[in-house]
Structure 1
Amino acid sequence: MSAHADALLTQLRAVVGAGNVLTDPESIEGFLVDWTGRYRGEADAVVRPRTTEEVSRVVGECASIGARICVQGGNTGLVGGSVPPPRNDTGRPVIVLSTARMTDIDEVDAVGRCVGAQAGATVDAIDGKAAEAGLAFPVDLASRESATAGGVVSTNAGGIRMIRRGNTRSQVLGIEAVLADGRVLRRWTSLVKDNVGYDLPALLAGSEGTLAVITRVLFKLVVPPSTATVAVAAVEHVEDAIGLIAAASSRGLTVEAAELMTEAGIELVHEHGHRRPTATPGPFYVLLEVSGVGDIETTMAELLGDTGGLVDAVLEPAPARALWGARESHTETIARSSTTPVVKLDISVPIRALPETFAELAEVGAASDFPCRPILFGHVGDGNIHVNLLDVPEEHAETVTGRVFGVVAANGGSISAEHGIGRAKTAWTHLGRSDVDLDTMRAVKAAFDPQGLLNPGVILGTGARSADPPES
């Protein structure tokens, strides 16, 4: 450890306490590798502040000597953006700033339907707090018990309720964040109309920790539906799933969630102990959760009877945990089933292009010169597909990634639907952003973080890769 790093750690211990500056290799190991196991970095220490004031002082101390900071919440990200750089060739100290101790949640404003939460509060805990007031947190995702407020805002997470509620950015009323020089930015109001200047909370949402350290968020809350029904239908074609969603809306039902899975994915989770959602298998499975007035189950049963390409279907009153389990167990099952770290790609295409895209992505494995099993699933209602490529040798990971992104670009899609860019996708941002667009983002980064201290290498890739971007 350099003299600069040693002196910095002494200062940081004075700020957060010696027990919250971790340097032992065994203690910090879990902070240096991401959930997928594909991305690993190096750091001099992990620092765990408790308050915004402590974050401000930590960032100020780091800025005074040019130390780099990697901000980390639940570390459930899938693109390497939550771990430090893989190597430190700058001579600057590298600190992981963990929000694990920042878990406070304010009392719910039941009239204004909002609640404030520290960055380390989990999605599940925020929703639980909202439920005490008869409300719900509109952001929901499979990693709800570990994903944090700061993380979902930083990545502008979508999740399973996006079709009904919008992405995380849509749920943010206010934000508190520490800038790269240690100053505290606070834009905190429950007003639904406040149009004074730039929308800084919206800018920080999706910035992946590269512009500021989010410490607290003021979230919107919603009234949950009084009744809802969950249907899983095995269908012949992707078009059948899309048609069912449209039919539900046309009958006056509110689509709360719409998910698409393939027989390959359902068979995989079944092999790992989960029951199949329908008695008869089909090439595709659409999970639809709907709410509304009247006899929802009867309306859904009628819709299913009119659905083209229907193989089999089942209906249950929400929350229908067993039916949802078939979808939500995909991620962990896939991770356990691959002989190599899974190549996980989160993409979106126009809904009209979903059938062709699914077909082309399913052929990626067959077109490779090595074993590769694609498992596809995602949020069919908003065109989001989670592409999982199993058994890909590490030396071929970028090759198959390029093939997938080539399919996405050809179908007018985006290389990142809801997981962000992180370190994983920096080489391909040119597929969705022009040179002018990227230059503008670099200018924003330079204005907020002129020393380049916050999450170096994330999104824009400076210092993150030594190789030229691969051809796609």
Structure 2
Amino acid sequence: MTSLDKSLLDEFESIVGASHALHEDELVASYSTDWTGRFKGSTPLVLRPGTTEEVAQILRVASDANVALVPQGGNTGLVGGSVPLRGEVVLSLLRLNVCEPVDVLAQQVSLGAGVTLAQAQNHVSPFNLAIGVDLAARDSCTIGGMIATNAGGINVVRYGPMRDQLLGVEAVTADGSSISHLEGLEKDNTGYHLPGLFAGSEGSLAVITKARLRLHPQLDERCSAMLAFKSVGDAVSATAQLRRSVPDLHAVEVIFREAMDLVSDYISTSIPVRSDGSAWLIVEAASSSDPTDQLAQAIGDLGDLVLDVAVGHDSTSRAGLWQFREKITEAIATRGTPHKLDVTLPASELAEFVSRIPEIISEVDRRATAVMFGHLGDGNVHVNVLGDDGLEPDNEVESAVLGYVAQLGGSISAEHGIGTAKKEFLHLNRSGQEIAIFRAIKSSFDPKGILSPNTLIPAEEQ
């Protein structure tokens, strides 16, 4: 672990105060590992600034001393992007949790990077407005982390990912310089769009301290349904039809065989539709008026594609369906430490991918299993590879799965970013020239390479 001399520790402590400069082992332990427990590091210091100015002061000191830092929000990432793997200082942004007044006229809001998604949702809901991105980890994931990873979630099919919600940012670059554009202009063609660049940059370019988000009308009238399908191909075809025929389609989630069996056992609840299928969709329509008839008509038009349907009309019955999707990650965690490979496939390749993955994994590690689910509306499949008896699977599994994704024209990262887990596979999706451009952009923002040094960009070949 990197050590810091006392004078430097004292200088950092003078910025945030002794109670927000943590260095005791028992206090920093939770900041040094990710949610899955797969990525574990160590840190000599956790700093918890409460203002953008404190972040700027910290970065000026760190830059002068060549001290590397890892920005961290809710630490819900799954690819090691916010873990201090080489003894970096952790910059926890959870105290940047101010929710500014909602701009009802513009349908926008400015939020601190440490605001959780649930806090943001509760803040804007009284004004009949909603955040465009929703995640199962809403109680712990933060606005800053969601921007850094360009999070998508269950409503991408309607509103797009976090980048599409972003109208402005306040951020601090590696030398302690501040950038702030929170005016919320819907159109601003004055050069490069820095908020869009920071979205998905995983903390490698600057530390986001505040964001201006576009809001959407809150849609209280909802109808959800679970549909069972004989094959993955049928589920894919049905999704395409629903996207064409349901104007108020709000979510299309998919659960495959192994995941459905696992979560059903975990929540001790029988599958509410036929259990002999290969794939299940949870679809939701949302509107200002009751969308039940609209969704029912569209499902009826699917005909023999659907084996069985269960409908959730009220909040209780909808929650009963959605628990099968939202509890999957918890269910997987009970089986050991998974290798999480969140990928995106072209719609035409989804069925082939899902059917071939178990065989591809078995060729590398015959005792490993794949638990898959995802957001079928945007082609995102969460591939969770579990080893036998709680052990981690062979590391070569990642190379095999991600190589196949690239072969099919997909992306090796759909959510959670590249992080540490996938950076050596970036070449599968990006050319050497593109990676060189990434390095040049990184160097222009962070010439000393002190921000998230283990994330996103692979080591340069010597």
Normalised to the residue count of structure 1, the TM-score between the two structures is 0.93
Whether the aligned pair in 2 keeps the contact of 1:8 and 1:62 (CA below 8 Å) is no
Whether the aligned pair in 1 keeps the contact of 2:150 and 2:161 (CA below 8 Å) is yes
Deviation at 1:263, TM superposition (A): 2.2
Q: Work out the CA distance in 2 between the residues paired with 1:348 and 1:336.
A: 25
Deviation at 1:306, TM superposition (A): 3.6
Deviation at 1:368, TM superposition (A): 3.5
Q: Work out the CA distance in 1 between the residues paired with 2:267 and 2:78.
A: 25
Match of 2:368? 372
1:303 partnered with 2:301: no
- In the alignment of these two chains, the number of paired residues is 456
1:141 partnered with 2:141: no
Q: Work out the CA distance in 2 between the residues paired with 1:293 and 1:253.
A: 12
Deviation at 1:296, TM superposition (A): 3.2
Q: Work out the CA distance in 2 between the residues paired with 1:3 and 1:369.
A: 39
Q: Work out the CA distance in 2 between the residues paired with 1:386 and 1:3.
A: 38
Runs of 4+ aligned structure 1 residues displaced above 4 Å come to: 1-4, 292-295, 392-396
1:171 to 165, 173, 196: 165
Please state whether the residue corresponding to 2:131 is helix, strand or coil.
Answer: coil
Change in 2 beyond 3 A, CA 1:251/1:11: same
CA distances 1:260-286 after superposition (whole Å, capped 9, x unpaired): 101221111111124234242121101
Q: Work out the CA distance in 1 between the residues paired with 2:169 and 2:310.
A: 42
CA distances 1:16-59 after superposition (whole Å, capped 9, x unpaired): 10111100001000000001111111211000000001111111
CA distances 1:296-325 after superposition (whole Å, capped 9, x unpaired): 323433433342332211111265111111
1:326 partnered with 2:324: yes
CA distances 1:320-353 after superposition (whole Å, capped 9, x unpaired): 1111110010001101123xx1111110011111
Which amino acid letter does the alignment assign opposite residue 119 of structure 1? A
Match of 2:195? 201
Match of 1:337? 335
Which amino acid letter does the alignment assign opposite residue 398 of structure 1? N
Q: Work out the CA distance in 2 between the residues paired with 1:395 and 1:294.
A: 48
Deviation at 1:369, TM superposition (A): 3.9
Match of 1:42? 42
Please state whether the residue corresponding to 1:131 is helix, strand or coil.
Answer: helix
Deviation at 1:83, TM superposition (A): 0.7
Please state whether the residue corresponding to 1:44 is helix, strand or coil.
Answer: coil
Match of 2:72? 72
Consecutive unaligned residues of structure 2, counting only runs of 5 or more, are: none
Change in 2 beyond 3 A, CA 1:155/1:318: farther
Which amino acid letter does the alignment assign opposite residue 328 of structure 2? H
Match of 2:262? 268
Q: Determine what percentage of the aligned residue pairs are the same residue.
A: 38
Consecutive unaligned residues of structure 1, counting only runs of 5 or more, are: 89-93
Deviation at 1:294, TM superposition (A): 7.0
Deviates more, 1:203-212 or 1:185-194: 185-194
Please state whether the residue corresponding to 1:367 is helix, strand or coil.
Answer: helix
Deviation at 1:437, TM superposition (A): 0.2
Whether the aligned pair in 2 keeps the contact of 1:253 and 1:292 (CA below 8 Å) is no
Match of 1:108? 102
Which amino acid letter does the alignment assign opposite residue 235 of structure 1? F
CA distances 1:392-450 after superposition (whole Å, capped 9, x unpaired): 68775320011101210111001001210000001100000001000000000000000
Whether the aligned pair in 2 keeps the contact of 1:42 and 1:84 (CA below 8 Å) is yes
CA distances 1:160-187 after superposition (whole Å, capped 9, x unpaired): 1111000100101110001100011112
Change in 2 beyond 3 A, CA 1:366/1:292: same
1:236 partnered with 2:215: no
2:284 to 286, 289, 294: 289
Q: Work out the CA distance in 1 between the residues paired with 2:314 and 2:407.
A: 38
Deviation at 1:112, TM superposition (A): 0.5
Which amino acid letter does the alignment assign opposite residue 347 of structure 2? I
Whether the aligned pair in 2 keeps the contact of 1:289 and 1:318 (CA below 8 Å) is no
Whether the aligned pair in 2 keeps the contact of 1:360 and 1:407 (CA below 8 Å) is no
Whether the aligned pair in 2 keeps the contact of 1:5 and 1:44 (CA below 8 Å) is no
Whether the aligned pair in 2 keeps the contact of 1:409 and 1:431 (CA below 8 Å) is yes
Which amino acid letter does the alignment assign opposite residue 245 of structure 1? T
CA RMSD, aligned part only? 1.9
1:357 to 353, 359, 370: 353
Whether the aligned pair in 2 keeps the contact of 1:364 and 1:374 (CA below 8 Å) is no
Change in 2 beyond 3 A, CA 1:118/1:299: closer
Whether the aligned pair in 1 keeps the contact of 2:108 and 2:215 (CA below 8 Å) is yes
Whether the aligned pair in 2 keeps the contact of 1:208 and 1:420 (CA below 8 Å) is yes
Whether the aligned pair in 2 keeps the contact of 1:344 and 1:387 (CA below 8 Å) is yes
Whether the aligned pair in 1 keeps the contact of 2:221 and 2:290 (CA below 8 Å) is no
1:187 partnered with 2:184: no
Change in 2 beyond 3 A, CA 1:274/1:107: farther
1:31 partnered with 2:31: yes
